[in-house]
Amino acid sequence: MSSEIDRTGTPLVEMRNMRKAFGGIHAVDNVTIDLYPGEVVGVLGHNGAGKSVLMKMLSGALPRDSGEIYVNGEKAEINNPRDARNYQIETIYQYLALADNLDAAANLFLGRELTTPLGFVDDAKMEAETRKIMGRLTPNFRRFNTPVAGLSGGQRQSVAISRAVYFNAKILIMDEPTAALGVEETRMVAELIDELKKRGIGILLIDHDIHQVKALCDRASVMKNGKLVGTVEVDKVSEDDLLGMIILGKKPEMAA
Amino acid sequence: MSDSTDSVSEPTRSTKRNLLATLEIDTRLLGMIGAFIVVCLVFNFLTDGRFLTPRNIFNLTIQTVSVALMATGMVFVIVTRNIDLSVGSLLATCSAIMAMMQTVVLPDWMGLGLEHPLIAPMAILTGILAGAIIGAFHGWLIGYLTIPAFIVTLGGLFVWRNVAWHLTNGQTIGPLDSNFQLLGGINGTLGETWSWVFGALAVIATLYALIAARRSKVRHEFQVKPVWAEVVIGGIATVAILGFVAILNAYEIPSRRLERSFEDRGLTMPEGFTAGYGIPYSVVLLIVVAIIMIVLARRTRLGRYIFAAGGNPEAAELSGIRTRALTVKVFMIMGILCAISAVVASARLTFHTNDIGTLDELRVIAAAVIGGTALSGGVGTIYGAILGALIMQSLQSGMAMVGVDAPYQNIVVGIVLVLAVYVDILYRKRTGS
């Protein structure tokens, strides 16, 4: 998979020397990673390795202590989720960021509602758009008018993914997108990731499952105790190599 | 992602359920209306038919307005997982400011003199401005300084009650400007003709809204109700609106009072002349506020964000919603409504008194909660809160008519509040919503 990626040009995203500390603990300590168009980069590590914090700095959910973010080679100021959205960075959170009491359409457009010329929210239009986009991703979905609290994990996930797709994400952060899903739903997410890759979208994928990473990712950046162990092309290392990086913080010698 | 099978259980439901589903009526609302009707019928029986007279229904509506106005704002406050214990005190401060404006500041300091036509509007504007500023200040303390709403407004409960006392030197202020008094209820009504005009406009607006909603659904090729269901709902709404107007028109102005009003204009009253009160201005005000609040809740981004932030504050924040500014706005709306409510309450009394609005915070919270607003946030309706206020007021004035002493009235109201919430919990469990 990785051989197709052209890494000679400007990266889609580059995070340089990112740091974040909580009290005296360095949650993220001088980490640099990059992501190219059409590439899936796995961000791996134990719980508490700092993967989620690193991603949250990119999505604007957490302010960074220091470090620089470049989008398409230009320095980006990302201080809150709205800034990130303006750079077409969309995030699918581990604990799905949906308002349980609202329906699928209201969630999909949350913060970016379609409005009528008079400035009122256009629920009918939003529902129609939601039917279109969700019809592509999950053709069987019918429950457009019930609060998303009543939906299954997979249906909720598809609302979150539809949101990213609808708003033309260029950079997609997925925080364990399949953690809450069954086998069939996981397969659908995998297919979706492939489709998004083909469109030139760059994906940062946080995951625990080594098989999944081997199957889905082009490269993997491994973190331990807030530091970057290394970034490797997944096809050139074994699962044991990856586990060694995660558990021991040991970079394999053959890594690119 | 492929397990979206919800229509399977559809045919197994009972026909009664299907009828309600076809009409797309909120069953919870239906339950509340049912409870309200039961309360009315029971009191009507106990009072030998005195409860459901035009006179008592008129009084019931004007007594409900003040609490109902604030309850619509309390819905937003509670939906965003906050609480406001200061509304009664804030009402008192706004009332004191408006009373001082119309009896001292404008007539004396500004030299307008008493009963100048500008006094009422200027006093009301000042009061609303004060309410907005104080409410926004509460919201700032809660949203930006992250002091819990319970504490901020508990402090506000003490502070504003006594700021009101300070502003008036503890005196009762009045009588208030006569134009101002028009908003109190019985001192200002539309009269029979204009009440019918108002009723007709309301019917037209309701039917138009139904048709527009249906057209919008058809345009996007969504499922629509059968036409007969639309006609039934339109018919019920029409009958309810015109029936309400007819009842308020049927409450006749006492002939002595009519005679006086003719004499004031230098005329003599024709023999056998009668006139009904019609809809009070304060009720028109409540209807206008209710419509604005419902539109705000359902058709604007602000409303959408209020409910989103109440349902999942973190998701709202991650979706780019400025939740702290949202808190300021919600409490500012609450403050404005306290001021509007202060207009109605003091105009009804024709005075500003020190104890105006005392314990209103509890009535307002109770009305919102009985109306289906969940303290856990994210759930609540404006019309539910108004109906909740109406049910509470009916209980209280019904018991007063039957001759139940005030302490026992409060015992009953307290029990009803707890019971209503328990029934609501059961309802939500059964419907799974």
Cα angle B253-B254-B259, degrees, rounded to a multiple of 5: 95
What local confidence, expressed as pLDDT, does residue B4 receive? 41
B75 touches chain A (CB under 8 A): no
CA B56 vs CA A33, B45, B68, B99: distances in Å: 74, 14, 18, 29
Q: List CB contacts (< 8 A) between A157 and chain B.
A: 1
What local confidence, expressed as pLDDT, does residue B81 receive? 94
B266 and B329 in a common domain: no
Structural domain count of chain B: 2
Q: How far apart are CA B339 and CA B93, in angstroms?
A: 9
B208 and B183 in a common domain: no
Q: Which of B8, B326, B138 is nearest to A99 (CA)?
A: B326
Confirm whether B1 is domain-assigned.
no
Q: Tell me: the pLDDT tens digits for B193-219?
A: 899 999 999 999 999 988 888 888 888
End-to-end CA distance of chain B: 21
A66 touches chain B (CB under 8 A): no
Q: Which of A101, A120, A138 to mutate to test the interface with B (most CBs of B within 10 A)?
A: A101
A113 and A192 in a common domain: no
* Interface contact B4-A141, CB threshold 8 A: yes
- Identify the domain containing residue A113 by its residue range: 101-168
A121-125, A149-153, A163-167, A210-214, range with the lowest pLDDT: A149-153
Q: Which of A92, A95, A102 to mutate to test the interface with B (most CBs of B within 10 A)?
A: A102
B432 touches chain A (CB under 8 A): yes
B222 and B176 in a common domain: no
CA B317 vs CA A7, A60, A97, A254, B311: distances in Å: 35, 10, 9, 43, 12
B175 and B103 in a common domain: yes
Selected residue with higher pLDDT from A156 and A65: A65
A137 and A34 in a common domain: no
Q: Average pLDDT by consecutive 10-residue portion of chain B (433 residues)?
A: 40 54 75 90 91 90 94 96 96 95 86 84 95 97 95 96 93 88 86 90 91 83 81 90 89 82 80 83 94 94 94 88 95 97 94 92 92 89 94 91 89 88 83 62
Q: Which of A59, A124, A143 sits opposite B217 (nearest CB)?
A: A124
A217 and A205 in a common domain: yes
B158 and B293 in a common domain: yes
B308 touches chain A (CB under 8 A): yes
CATH of the domain at A178: 3.40.50.300
- Where does a domain end: A168, A188, A206? A168
B291 and B152 in a common domain: yes
B223 touches chain A (CB under 8 A): no
A106 and A157 in a common domain: yes
- Identify the domain containing residue B201 by its residue range: 189-279
What local confidence, expressed as pLDDT, does residue B7 receive? 40
A117 and A225 in a common domain: no
Three-state SS for B374? coil
What backbone torsions phi and psi does residue B111 show, to the nearest 5 degrees? Answer: 75, 25
Window A:142-201, CB contacts with B under 8 Å: 142-143, 146-147, 150-152, 154-155, 157-158, 181, 184-185, 188-189
Cβ atoms A229, A43 nearer than 8 A? no
What local confidence, expressed as pLDDT, does residue B10 receive? 40
Q: How far apart are CA B98 and CA A145, in angstroms?
A: 46
* CB neighbour class for B268 (10 Å; exposed up to 12, middle 13-18, buried from 19): exposed
Structural domain count of chain A: 2
B124 and B82 in a common domain: yes
What local confidence, expressed as pLDDT, does residue A95 receive? 65
Cα B81 vs. chain centroid, distance in angstroms?
Answer: 20
Confirm whether B362 is domain-assigned.
yes
A155 and A143 in a common domain: yes
CATH of the domain at B104: 1.10.3470
Q: Which of B7, B304, B319 sits opposite A97 (nearest CB)?
A: B319
* Interface contact B220-A128, CB threshold 8 A: yes
Helix intervals (H) in B220-280: 227-250, 255-264
pLDDT at A140 over 80: no
What ipTM, to 2 d.p.?
Answer: 0.83
What local confidence, expressed as pLDDT, does residue B157 receive? 95
B141 and B262 in a common domain: no
pTM above 0.80, yes or no: yes
B421 and B344 in a common domain: yes
A188 and A150 in a common domain: no
End-to-end CA distance of chain A: 15
B198 and B132 in a common domain: no
What local confidence, expressed as pLDDT, does residue B344 receive? 95
A127 and A247 in a common domain: no
Determine the residue of chain A that is closest to B314 in CA distance: A97
A252 and A128 in a common domain: no
A179 and A70 in a common domain: yes
B196 and B133 in a common domain: no
Selected residue with higher pLDDT from B12 and A151: A151
* Interface contact A80-B320, CB threshold 8 A: yes
A118 and A106 in a common domain: yes
Q: Which of B74, B83, B84, B20 is nearest to B386 (CA)?
A: B74
B169 and B63 in a common domain: yes
What backbone torsions phi and psi does residue A62 show, to the nearest 5 degrees? Answer: -130, 135
